[in-house]
Structures are given as structure tokens and as C-alpha cells.
Structure 1
Amino acid sequence: MKRTRVWLKRLLIGAVLVLVAAVATVVALALSTVPSFTGTQVLPGLTQPVSIIRDRNGVPHIIGTTVEDLYRALGFAHAQDRLWQMELMRRVGQGRLAEIFGEQLVDTDIFLRTLDLAGHAERSYERFPADAKALLEAYAAGVNAFLERPVGLFESRWPPEFLVLRHKPEPWRPADSLTLVKVMALNLSANLGPEIQRLTLAAQGFSPDEIEDIMPLNDGENPPPLPDLSKLYPLRSLGPGRRRTAALDNDIGSGASNNWVVAGSRTVTGKPLLANDPHLRLSAPSIWYLVHLALKGSERANLVGASLPGTPIVVLGRGDTIAWGFTNTEADVQDVFIEKLNPDNPEEYLTPDGWRRFDVDVMEIRVARGETRLVERRRTRHGPVLPPQFRNLGRILGQGYVAALQWTALSDDDTTVLAGLFSPNIRTVSDWIERTRHYVVPMQSMVVADMAGDIALIAPGRLPIRHLENQIAGRAPVPGWEAKYDWQGYVAFEELPRTINPPDGAIGTANARIVSRDYPHHITYDWDADYRHRRVTELLAKRDKHDMATMQAVQLDVFSPAFAELAPLMIAAAKAAVSEEEDLRQLLDQVERWDAQMRSDAVEPLVFMAWLRETVQAVFADDLGPVFRQFFRPQAKALIRVLKGQASGRDWCDDINTPARESCGDILAAAFRRAIADLESRYGKDRAKWSWGQAHYASGEHRVFSTLPLIGRYFIVGTASPGGPYTLNRGLVEFDSEDPFANRHASTLRAIYDLSDLDNSLFMQPTGQSGNPFSRFYRTFETSWSEGQYIRIPTDPAEIRREAIGTWRLLPN
């Protein structure tokens, strides 16, 4: 017995030692993937040595004597911290995800390869002038220098994602940077989704009036009546079925943002103030990478802001005398054309001039652990034919029809990148505006200010001109065989929206209408809900003089104008029906007293959002049937329309699945009961412990490791957060998910620029600088972002040296 105990003890000790050794090995391997902050590297092509000095926040200050040298070093720094992000975005643009992830992304690859973003980028790059090519080649060389660098005995060449997936990246090419810009354009071009949604609703038998109820436009928009789409094409209703390109659905057309600029006449310092916070899907790492480029040669200049890894562009930021910020214009730069096939020859489609053959080639889709697919890709005179599985188009359209996409990004002369290359000569608002002449896509509403005191708004890009007889005007797919739906060219640069030094000294945009009703060109009818735009305008007008503190207060504002309008309507409808239920009535009274502030520590936002979720489902799910999930989101405008009795289509509150005729009060009261029961099941019956922040967890997911069982949560960067879908401090939720109140889409950068002292400018992003989950800079800013804090990025050499934690010296041959 004693001998048995001894052996058991030895076995236990041995097992513990093996486990400790295994854990130590894993930890050592993980840490070996984190690049050093200090080192020396020969970088071929440099003209002079370059320093990469990282500060205590992990922000690199890159100091060199030429722009080419700076870009070479920036490529190196991007690859050090964000190589996996760069590789993943490049593969999205190339349509080569299945090569790594396998069968599940074949349909996504087919869609992306159909667009041929990488091909258009390559052909555009070939047209670039030699000086621009040299800059992009320098950046690519810097990335590749990191890939090919000598590594030590205990240093991994690749970040952990590459090791886990057993994947080796290909060398970076200059055109890859253009491909990434086109991926951003795909994420920000928002018209494709609403067009197909309206077609889907028409296929389900909904009238134009009913479609307008479900997808209401902003007040004051007065488009021509939408025709009955089912009379233009044979459409088929959808039964249950999955959307086979769902992997991209949450990213396509997902951009939103705020920006504003205030003239010196409206500030304490007498110089302009400019603020910007782009809203995109949260991820770990954040899409942006903060950086400071310092040119110290014969020309001296600083460039500070948010760069896009994989490109040399500081997209949002400031120079020495100028600052700028973007929001998505929501411009209608995409049209879906329904093409009619020749019944006698399916290789032809109908045009205004008769039948024409498709342009056809074959795509090779390689699949990890699977068979390579050969897929035919067809193009019409409008653009590529969308795959039938994309958003169920093949199931919706009748036999003999296909859908083709025309989009400004699908061009071989896209010069957008030229507008973003570092030039010390861009010092004034007028310089900036002229530089945007190169800009193609995605169309952005850019606010800009300079130290001389000028402020401006310009929305550059290719804006299609549509025929006056085109009554659909971008809201739904159009017949490809009728000439009146063809684009008539593009709006001239001089006629694009712009405002310079307005009399009231302030300009603000938030994805809503940016032009007056008499603007002569069509931009879109599908502007974003105008609540944030109205709130920016209101808060800027409240003060005669602004300073950095008031700019921060506007940026962090969590008042929801939408819920301030919607909540009283919902309460009035439901109050009588719960008057006899004391517990529910008290909760409803609490919501009634609520000030519509989406504070993290408050319970009312949580109760209201849960009620809103159940209400949207109760009002619309029975009518929409199998397509409801496409519309399962906070539907403030649609519900306001219903509860005010303005719905023109049908009685949406009545449940069509019951013989009774329910009122809105009946439906909302039942939804309130279900909402409270749902909250109790999620967060317990002790309501004193409920809070909005507890449920509204900012969820920046790592694109590989967050899906791992048991440990996946560790790789999510985020914390409790305030705000909601209609607040300036935005936090968009996904009702149709396991965590329906989590914050999935929010500010990916906050920046405020002080034109009286640009070194006083403030920045914040939701994650850290590093994309490596094992780096101390992976989640640096998660709490600071949630709490509304900011950092400075100085350009003063002495301050940079004081804040330095390590320096890389890059040397010429």
C-alpha cells in the first residue's frame, strides 16, 4: 500500500511537471512571436538611417530624411505590429480566404473574385506616375524587409496566427496597398444592401408603400414613387434558407461616423477645432494604426494620425498646419442591373441595341483541405454578374435573369491612393481640396481646417449621374436592357458638394444629408438616420465659444434623440395593458422617467433596448416571415411611423398568425413582459445588479482566436461601454445574436485637433497598437476608450525621447 502511494505521488509529480513544461513551452512560443521594440536592421533602398521610436503607448515615431525612407520604415513597422491584419485584408481583396479557412468560405471567395478588386487595383497601379509608384514600392519593400529579416534562436519569424494556421505570407506588392483601399470601399459603399433588400421585399409580395414602411427614408426626402418591382421582373418569394455569403454581410456597407469643425470665431483660442470619430465594426486589433511620420531632411514636416496597415496612407490626421476628418457620405455609387438572358442562347443578354455576349473567364478557387473549384465569371456592359448565392439573388430572380453590379470602385483608373500620399506641400484648406481631385472611392464627407483659420467640407469621389427618366434613382435594381437606367457619366469635380467658411462658423456631418434640397445632383435617398447629425448641430449651436473640453463632450455624448421620440410612443401604447401588473408597471414608470441618456451604469437603457428588441420582432416578424432576419435591428424610424399611425401599407401591429386582431398596445405590452423575462434569464432576477454597460460590452473580436472554444473570450478586446445605435458615442447592437446587446460597431478612432497648437491634439482607439494577442500593446486602450479618455501624440523630439520605450535603427546598405 505504501509503495502504491509512493508511485502515485511520483506519477502526480511527473504529470504536474509535464503540464508545467507544456504550459511553459506554449508561453515561450507565444512570447517569441512578439517583436522586440529595439533593434538594428539593414533596410535596402534607404538613403539615410531612419529611427522608429515607440512611446509608452506603442505609437511609433518614424524619423527620416525623405518620404520614401519614411514609407520604407512605415512598412516595416506595420508588418511588426499588424502583419496578420494586413494579410487577412489582402486575402479579402483577392478573394483567397478559402485557401486558409477551407470550404466554409468558398462562396465568399466566389463573390469577392467576381468583383475582382485585386485585378482592378493592379491595373490602376500600372497607370500611376513614376513618383507615386516609387513611394508604394518603398512601402512594400519595408514590409518585405520584415518578412525576410534575420531572426534569433528564440524569436519567431511570424505572428501567432501564421503559426497556428501553418500559413506563410507571400511578399507584399505595391498594388496590394490599392487592393486594401478597395476593400475599405467595399465596407463603406452602402447602397448594394438596400437595393437587394427592396427587391427581396417585392419578391415576398410587399407593395411599394409597405416597403417604404419597413425601410423609411429621412423626413423631407421626397423621391419619385417606387414602382412595383414584381412587374418589372419575374420574382420568386423566399422560403427558409441560409445566406451563403453571410461571412461578409456585417462588413459590407457598414460604415458610419461623425465629424465637425468649428471656425476660430467660435473657439476660445481664436483658431479652428476639428473632431472626427469613424464608426466601423469593432475588431481586435482596431482597423487603424496610430503613427507619427517626421520628415527631417531638406524639407521638414510632420504627419500624425490613423494609418491603414497595408497602405502607406495616414487616412485621418493632421500635418503641421492642417487637420482633416472623414465620414461616409453614403453616396449611391452602386447600381444593380437585372440582365435578361436570351432564351435561345444563355450566353447572351439583352441591351438597348439587342443581344450581346457576356465576357467570360474562369476563376480557380483553391480550398484548404478540399478540391480546387473552377468557377465561371461573367461580365456585362455594366459590370460583373453577381453569384446567384449572393444574398439569395438566384432564388429571388425568375428563370432567365441575372444581376450585374455597376460600382465606381470597379474601375482600372482608380487614383484614390494618390490623394493620400504624404506631401509636405499640403498646408492649407485650398491645397487639401485640390489634392482630393484624385479621389475616386469610397466617397467621403471630409472636413478640413488650417492654422490660417479656414474651414471647409468637401465630398470628393466619382458620383454617377442618373437619367432624369430613371424614377428608381438608385433605390432598387433596374432593368439592364433599358437605356434610361444607364449612368450618364460622373459629376464634375467642381460641382461636388463643398462648403467653405460658412457664416455660422461650423460644419458637421454624420452620414445624413450634407447638401440642401436644391443641390442639382442626386447623391442618394438612403442617407443614414439623421439623429446624430441633428444632435451635432444642436450641441455646436448651444455655445458661442468652444474649446477642447466641449469637443470631447460632444464626441462622448450618449443622449439618444431617437429613443427620446420613440420611448413615449411605446409607453403610451403599452401603459394601459400593464396597469394591473404592479411589478411591470413600476418598471415601465421607470423607463418613462428616463432621460434617454445611454449611460453605462443605468438600467433604463437595458430595459428599453430589451423591450425594443422584442417589439421589433413582435411587430414585423409575422409579416416579413423568412426575410425578417435581414431587418432584425433597432428600427426606430419604422416603429415611430407605425406608432404615429403614419404607416401606409398595412396594420403592422396585428399578428397575422392569430384569429384575433391585436392592437399596438396588446403587442407592445406582451413584448414588454417577454423583455423582462429575457433580462431575468440573462442577468438574474436582482434588477439592482442590471446595467446597460454590463450587457453593452464592446466586443472587438480577433478574426481567428476569438472563435476558439473555452479560451476565445481572452482574445476579445473590450469592456463595458455606454452609447447606443443613435447616439454620437455610438454603439450598434446585433439583435439576432447570442449577445444581442453587445457593442459590435462603434468608434474605431476618436480624434480632436487644436489648430492653435496641433501638438495639443487628442487621439484614442478601442484596442492597442499591436495585433499580436500576446503583446502588452494588444489591449492598451480598451478601458481608456470606454471611459472617454484620450492621449496626445507629440512631435517635439525632446518629448518623444522622454516617452520612448525602445528604438529601431534602420540602416541603408
Structure 2
Amino acid sequence: MLRHCVIALALLATAAAAAPRREAATAPGLAAPGEIVVDRWGIAHIYAGSSRDAFFLQGYAVARDRLWQIDLWRKRGLGRLAASFGPAFVAQDRASRLFLYRGDMAAEWAAYPAEAKGWTQAFAAGINAYVGDVAAGRRPLPEEFRATGSTPERWQADDVVRIRSNALASNLPSELARARSLCAGGLPYEPLRRKLEPPHAITLPKGLDPCVLTPEVLGDYALGTAGVRFEAGKLVAQTPAERLAAAADPEVREGSNNWVIAPARSATGRAILANDPHREHSVPSLRTLVHLEAPDLHIAGAGEPALPGVSFGHNEDAAWALTIFYIDQQDLVVAGAETPFRDVVETIDVRGEAPRQVTLQFTPDGPVIHRDAAGRAFVLRATWDRPGASAYFNAAWLFRAKSWADFKVAQSHWGAPPLNLLYADRSGDIGWGAAGFAPVRASGDGLLPVPAGADYRWEGLLDPGLLPRLHNPARGWIATANEMNLPGDYPAEARPLGFEWADRSRIGRIETVIGAKPKFSLADAMALQTDTHSPLAARAVALLKGLNGEDADQQAALRLLGGWDGNMSADSAAAALYEVWAGRHLGDAAMRLAVPAAVRPGMDGPSIPALFGLMERRDPIVEPHRAAILKASLGAAWRATAARLGPDPARWRWDQLHKAIFTPALAIPGREAQRQVGPAGVGGSGSTPMATSPRADFTVAGGASVRMVLDVGDWDASMVINAPGQSGDADSPHYRDLFPMWAAGRYVPFRWTRTAVMRDAELVIAVTPNP
């Protein structure tokens, strides 16, 4: 009898646990009743009577989860930080306003699908409905607003697409770095600083003095494109110097992996599409997972929290994925007094003080980002000022895509950022297309700043039909990882797109793994996204063969690395030594021994992949110094690693240094433990498929926070992870619940059908129109 009672109680407990909690809400602006179903991983599944209501509820749901994050995004982008946080943010507000779209709004909206404006209006109305609930006391004000004494603002649809600072590619800092190198006489050493692909000769533009390009030129660019960070416990912005250092770092670039497997190569008999974009880690996470279902729309995926819909994901018929494709969409223009300038005077509201008037300057080429003492103006010319260049917004063209023809339409409209778009559908089609506005230059190659004037003007944008694409390749799969992947028959000199790409280490490993499997499964895709093998590290080991150490430290380092396979696993001692060596000591030794002293001050450190390539080719830049560079840097790295991890290499582990820590933009005194996520030791590096970007102390600054693997057609079988969690509320269980799984390389289901969603439902919010 007792046993039966225990069983009955257990069954009741299971049933109770399975029943989702229920809430009710009313919202002005909603046309018909709808639901927000939150599953046990914090993912919102939205059910609405129309696509318009679905986007309204998406806005309401994202405000519920991340009001502080999206409000901060909008205030930063529009240049409205000082109104909430005080005079320390006036300079950043002014800089941000330089990068707003200032063209005709009718033309802007006409560049997107016909319904996009209505969808965005509904999305903004949903956010505003939740903001109204907060203002009325029906919903709590997030703690960040309370800590800063600020309040959330109301949205308009135009706000979403006018903000362009998140659409800027990373070429501008590279142009400046190259100019400074040439000023110092570094042209012969440019192959050490950065590899160009396809091979291309650097030519100094006629009339350009590279020595006028100083780091200060990027001051407003850095302020206007950076995120918002506060000094601990204070409403004080980071200094311009801190932002300038980040913007000028040539290794700080967006990256990603994606691949698509055709049904004939798939273990499921259906296409498989995988995507893991790499960006700076943050809490809340940079992207959010969402699922929208209405009679006229059904999509799921990951997107920017402040945008309607998803950036990558799927609909009922097709799926798409993205990585950055490095079209050079920017030029730095040096203008003189003969250039026509237009002044725009704007008012910046300042909390606690009188409003400030600031003057923004523009030329026909774009905004003035710096003026020097000699009166020269430095101007950003970029594709983002064209209609249709709002970052990721053109994903709306894919929400109803059903075929390769539909995909090509979306590719042709894509403005920014420039992407490798991958495609798969239920019929078995797969494909790739380069996407993004590509400038046609009258002369010059985009690698260096140019003088203002007709000689270096832009003649328009390349016809998108001329961008490369690939459909149903014979080998049965396509993969990209930001590498130079222009087809062999693409006329790269006649129609240049860009010359600066990611190293081939990640794509090399991805191609090796996929190519070795006659059938590729969902489990294989998840394992590959978390693969820690580095072909770049394996190249380093090959370079060390035959090298004899001159002292005990060099000999010990050579022994540890000599038999290593390049696996950057969390428990690897060799991986720890390699990263300390390659990341902190090898480049310094190369600069000291291979680059003349007069050149070094104007030249940033070498690219390690470029250095390895020169050593492998025995290039005269490094060959006379090759052994000395390797040995001196290895000894220094051994000593530095021992100083950090102790004298016994048997106890070294890469994850003792390489820890993922997610830190919020705002520190609230007394709440640090609740708001910081991590640390957790992880493997990987910048050259492994499980890509990471280290800080100076080797903690992880960025990587793939979202990993997604889609079973095309059997959508319920798809898997995903989003670190550290779906919520921006530090007291929510979904603020950090996905972090341990992410750190361990695990995933959660990404449900699609109503039955599967309700099986994992945790909360159902029934939202009805306000009477």
C-alpha cells in the first residue's frame, strides 16, 4: 500500500512539474489574443493571429526579458546616452550621431520587403506596451534602471533601421595601421604584418601623405561604434583611449563558421545546416533565440534582440546561416579646405545639466570623424549610408523564402554586414552566396586612405548579380569560416571585393572533418562546432622540428611541443604553452629581430599566420632570423607559463588560463556575484572551429555564444545553445542556466511544432488586446 502511495505521489509530482505556469496580460495595440510560451530553456515561442501581432508579441517578450539591454542599444545608437547617464556620455552621443542614416526614409523602407515597416512598427509597439506596463507599475523596473536612476524610452520603427554604427565593417582601423606602417618605412615588411589575398601589391595613393594618419583619427569612430561600458559603480564612460585601443586592434574582427550538408551526404537523408557566429561575449547574450508562429508567418532562429524577426534560422521550408564575408565597404578619405562641408547642429540632452549643442560635419563622402591641427578633415566613406544597409535587417527577405530563387532575391538585396549566406531547403537544395553592398572604386584598392576628389571616388555599387554564388556542388557540402573563398574564376583584380580575410586554420579543420565522413550527422555537426584542433598550431609544431634549444627552458619547451598534435583541449599543457608563446612572445621576437628599429614604432605586431607562412616559405624577411626568433620566444614563453601555472608542466592546463567570463556593462555594487557569469575553463583558440578571442590575461573575450544545428525539414530535431542564457534579469533562472552546458559543449532542443513546444513549456503568458 505504501509503495503504491509513493508511486502515486511521484506521478502527481511529475504531472505538476510538467504543467506550465500561466500568466495573463493585456497590451494596447495588439489586434487579437496571442500567447508567449517560454520553454524550460528560456526560449520564447510566440503564437499570434497574424504576422503583425507576432512581431508585436516579439517586442513585448524581448522587453520582458531584456529591457535594459535593448534600451541601452537604442540610446547608444541614437546618441541619447547623456540624457539618461549624464555629461560623461556627451562625446559618445555626438560620435554615435555621425553614424545614423540621414537619407530619405521612404527610400530606406522601400529597400526592404513591403511588410517590413509594418512588422517593425508592431515590434516597436510591443516594446512600448511593455514599457507602459513598467511605467504603470504593472511590471517591475529592471535593476539597472533603478541603479542608474534612469527610465526606459519609447521606440519608433525608424529608430531600428536608422542606427548604422552596428553595420560598420572593420576595414578602417586596418587602413590606418597600414598607413602608419608605410610612414615608418614598413612597406617591405607588410607581408609580415598582414597577408593579402588574393596576392596584391600595395600602392600608395597619389597625393596621400601616410604620415598625417595618427591614431587620433579613429577617436570618434571608436566612440561611435563601441558598446557602452561604465566605470564600476559610476555613471562614467570608458575613456576614448580605451575604445581607441579596441578599434585599432587588427585582430578584433567578427568571425563565424557555417556549413551545409546536402541530403546525399547527410545521415538523416535531409540537409543539415550549422551556424556559430563569433562575437564579443556579453551578458545578456548578444543574440536571443525566438520562435514566431502565425497563419501567414512561421520562423525560428537567433537574432539581435533589438530587431524584429531573426538574423539566421529557418521557416517551414528553408533555412539560412551567415558568416562575415570581408567585402571592403569603407574608405578613409583625407579632405582639405577645397572640400564642401555641411554643418549639422544638434542638441544633446544631458541629465542634470543644460542641453548641449554640438556640430556634426559632413562632406559628400560621409561624416567627418576627425580634424587635425593643420585643418585636414578625415572622412568615413562607407556603404552604410545607402538605403537598405541596416545591419541584418535584410534577413526579412528570407522569412518566407521557399526556394533557391527566393534565396537569390534575398542575396541581391543584402546590404550590411557583408556575409557568406548559406541556404538549404526541404527539397534538398543547398547553396552559398556572397552578400553585401560592394563599392566600385574609380581607382585605388581600399587598403589605404585616399585623398578626396574625383580620382578616388566611388562610382556606385557592384551589381549584386555579379557577386559569386554556388548551388548544389557535386561534393555535397559547403563551408565557410571568413576565409578568402572567392572562386578561382572570379576576376578579383577587375572586380575587387577585399584583400583581408581570416586565416584558413578554422576552415581547414572544418573541411578536413566534413570531407572525411561519407555521411554527416547532427551529432557530427555539434562535435565540429566544439572541435578544438588547430591546424595553425600544428604548423607551428612542424616549424620547430630540427630546432635545438640553447638552454634548459628552450629545450623543455621543444620537448613539450614536439609531440603535440595541435589540439587546444582544455586539459592540454602544450596548448597553454603554445598560446603563451604564439600569443605573447613570438610576435615580439619577430619584430625585434626581423624588423628594423626605425620601422617598429609605426608598425603593429605581426600576424602569426602570416609569420608562419613566411617561415614556411623561408622568405628573406624572416629567414636569416628564423631560428633565433623561435628559440628566444620559446624560452621566454616557457618562463612566463611557469610563472603563471607553476614549475611543473605536468600540472599545466590550458583552461587554467583560458576561462570564459561574461560581465555586464554596468557593475552594481553588492550584486557582482549575481550579475557576472563564470568563470569556466574552456578549450579552443582563435584558430580552432570552437573559436575564442583571448584578452591580455588569456580569459575569453569572445567566441560563439550561439551555436545552432538545424535538421532541415525535421525542425523539432534541431539543436541550439545561447550563452549565458535567454534572460537579462540576473534573478531569473534563465540568466545563466545555459552557460554550464555551453562551456561543456552541450546543446538543448530547439522546438518547432506546438506539441513539442508544449511538452517543454515552463510558462504560458496569455496576452489579450487592451479593451
Q: TM-score, normalised by structure 1?
A: 0.82
Equivalent residue runs for 1:118-129 within 5 Å: 124-125=108-109
Q: Tell me the residue number matched to 1:721.
A: 682
Q: Tell me the residue number matched to 1:71.
A: 55
Deviations 1:339-367 (A, max 9, x none): 122xxxxxx42xxxxxxx21112244455
Q: Does 1:227 align with 2:209?
A: no
Q: What amino acid is aligned across from residue 636 of structure 2 in structure 1?
A: R
Assess if the C-alpha contact under 8 Å between 1:254 and 1:281 holds in 2. no
Structure 1 Cα separation of the partners of residues 393 and 700 of structure 2: 35
How far did residue 380 of structure 1 move? 1.6
Q: Does 1:96 align with 2:96?
A: no
Assess if the C-alpha contact under 8 Å between 1:415 and 1:438 holds in 2. no
Q: Does 1:209 align with 2:188?
A: yes
How far did residue 742 of structure 1 move? 1.3
Change (3 A) 1:118 1:697: farther
Q: Tell me the residue number matched to 1:137.
A: 121
Q: What amino acid is aligned across from residue 279 of structure 2 in structure 1?
A: L
Equivalent residue runs for 1:239-254 within 5 Å: 244=240, 246-247=242-243, 250=246, 254=253
Q: Tell me the residue number matched to 1:453.
A: 428
- Return the match for 1:171 from 140, 154, 178: 154
Q: Tell me the residue number matched to 1:290.
A: 289
Deviations 1:505-529 (A, max 9, x none): 1111111123224313211001222
How far did residue 48 of structure 1 move? 1.8
Q: Tell me the residue number matched to 2:657.
A: 695
How far did residue 163 of structure 1 move? 0.9
- Return the match for 1:684 from 643, 646, 651: 646
- Return the match for 2:635 from 645, 667, 673: 673
Identity score, percent: 27
Structure 1 Cα separation of the partners of residues 262 and 387 of structure 2: 39
List alignment gaps of at least 5 residues for structure 2: 1-19, 220-239
Change (3 A) 1:120 1:251: farther
Q: Tell me the residue number matched to 1:526.
A: 500
**Structure 2 counterpart SS, 1:144:** helix
Structure 2 Cα separation of the partners of residues 558 and 629 of structure 1: 35
Q: Tell me the residue number matched to 1:466.
A: 441
- Return the match for 1:198 from 178, 197, 220: 178
**Structure 2 counterpart SS, 1:45:** coil
Structure 2 Cα separation of the partners of residues 312 and 462 of structure 1: 22
Deviations 1:527-548 (A, max 9, x none): 2222222222222211222111
Assess if the C-alpha contact under 8 Å between 1:327 and 1:445 holds in 2. yes
Assess if the C-alpha contact under 8 Å between 2:343 and 2:360 holds in 1. yes
Q: Tell me the residue number matched to 2:520.
A: 546
How far did residue 38 of structure 1 move? 4.5
Change (3 A) 1:486 1:517: farther
Q: What amino acid is aligned across from residue 725 of structure 1 in structure 2?
A: G
- Return the match for 1:589 from 559, 562, 567: 559
Q: What amino acid is aligned across from residue 194 of structure 1 in structure 2?
A: S
Q: What amino acid is aligned across from residue 679 of structure 1 in structure 2?
A: T
Change (3 A) 1:109 1:688: farther
Q: Tell me the residue number matched to 2:226.
A: none
**Structure 2 counterpart SS, 1:589:** helix
Assess if the C-alpha contact under 8 Å between 2:304 and 2:310 holds in 1. yes
Q: Does 1:433 align with 2:408?
A: yes
**Structure 1 counterpart SS, 2:638:** helix
Deviations 1:226-250 (A, max 9, x none): 2346972262586999963543764
Q: Does 1:795 align with 2:752?
A: yes
Change (3 A) 1:290 1:636: same
Structure 1 Cα separation of the partners of residues 47 and 204 of structure 2: 61
Deviates more, 1:331-340 or 1:90-99: 90-99
Structure 1 Cα separation of the partners of residues 280 and 610 of structure 2: 22
Q: Tell me the residue number matched to 1:557.
A: 531
Q: Please, what is the CA RMSD of the aligned residues?
A: 3.2
Deviations 1:17-65 (A, max 9, x none): xxxxxxxxxxxxxxxxxxx974222122322211111111111111112
List alignment gaps of at least 5 residues for structure 1: 1-35, 342-347, 350-356, 389-393, 654-662
Q: Tell me the residue number matched to 2:343.
A: 360
Assess if the C-alpha contact under 8 Å between 1:619 and 1:652 holds in 2. no
Deviations 1:635-656 (A, max 9, x none): 23235425754254xx699xxx
Structure 2 Cα separation of the partners of residues 56 and 705 of structure 1: 28
**Structure 1 counterpart SS, 2:447:** coil
Change (3 A) 1:614 1:130: closer
Structure 1 Cα separation of the partners of residues 287 and 104 of structure 2: 24
Q: Tell me the residue number matched to 1:657.
A: none
Q: Does 1:81 align with 2:65?
A: yes
Structure 2 Cα separation of the partners of residues 584 and 764 of structure 1: 41
Assess if the C-alpha contact under 8 Å between 1:117 and 1:183 holds in 2. no
**Structure 2 counterpart SS, 1:569:** helix
Change (3 A) 1:338 1:43: same
Structure 1 Cα separation of the partners of residues 44 and 94 of structure 2: 38
Q: Tell me the residue number matched to 1:616.
A: 587
Q: Does 1:606 align with 2:576?
A: yes
Structure 1 Cα separation of the partners of residues 73 and 600 of structure 2: 30
Q: Tell me the residue number matched to 2:166.
A: 184
**Structure 1 counterpart SS, 2:30:** coil
Q: Tell me the residue number matched to 2:382.
A: 407
How far did residue 585 of structure 1 move? 2.1
Structure 2 Cα separation of the partners of residues 709 and 630 of structure 1: 43
Q: Tell me the residue number matched to 2:233.
A: none
- Return the match for 2:318 from 294, 310, 322: 322
Deviations 1:119-158 (A, max 9, x none): 78798348878743221111111001111116898x7632
**Structure 2 counterpart SS, 1:143:** helix
**Structure 2 counterpart SS, 1:441:** coil
Assess if the C-alpha contact under 8 Å between 1:386 and 1:405 holds in 2. yes
How far did residue 261 of structure 1 move? 0.8
Change (3 A) 1:529 1:783: same
Structure 2 Cα separation of the partners of residues 778 and 369 of structure 1: 33
Structure 1 Cα separation of the partners of residues 546 and 354 of structure 2: 59
How far did residue 175 of structure 1 move? 1.6
**Structure 1 counterpart SS, 2:385:** coil
Equivalent residue runs for 1:244-393 within 5 Å: 244=240, 246-247=242-243, 250=246, 254-295=253-294, 297=295, 299=296, 301-341=297-337, 348-349=338-339, 357-367=340-350, 373-388=356-371
- Return the match for 2:417 from 439, 442, 446: 442
Deviations 1:579-613 (A, max 9, x none): xx2x6523430111111000011111111111221
Structure 1 Cα separation of the partners of residues 603 and 72 of structure 2: 26
Q: Tell me the residue number matched to 1:3.
A: none
Deviates more, 1:693-702 or 1:234-243: 234-243
Q: TM-score, normalised by structure 2?
A: 0.86
Change (3 A) 1:368 1:585: farther
How far did residue 808 of structure 1 move? 0.9
Q: What amino acid is aligned across from residue 450 of structure 1 in structure 2?
A: D
**Structure 2 counterpart SS, 1:699:** strand
Q: What amino acid is aligned across from residue 215 of structure 1 in structure 2?
A: R
Assess if the C-alpha contact under 8 Å between 2:102 and 2:385 holds in 1. no
Equivalent residue runs for 1:411-422 within 5 Å: 411-412=386-387, 414=389, 419-421=394-396
**Structure 2 counterpart SS, 1:526:** coil
Structure 1 Cα separation of the partners of residues 606 and 354 of structure 2: 38
- Return the match for 2:99 from 106, 109, 115: 115
Change (3 A) 1:424 1:603: closer
Deviates more, 1:794-803 or 1:101-110: 101-110
Deviates more, 1:670-679 or 1:516-525: 670-679
Q: Which has the larger radius of gyration?
A: 1
**Structure 1 counterpart SS, 2:369:** coil
- Return the match for 1:635 from 597, 602, 608: 608
Q: Tell me the residue number matched to 2:13.
A: none
How far did residue 259 of structure 1 move? 0.7
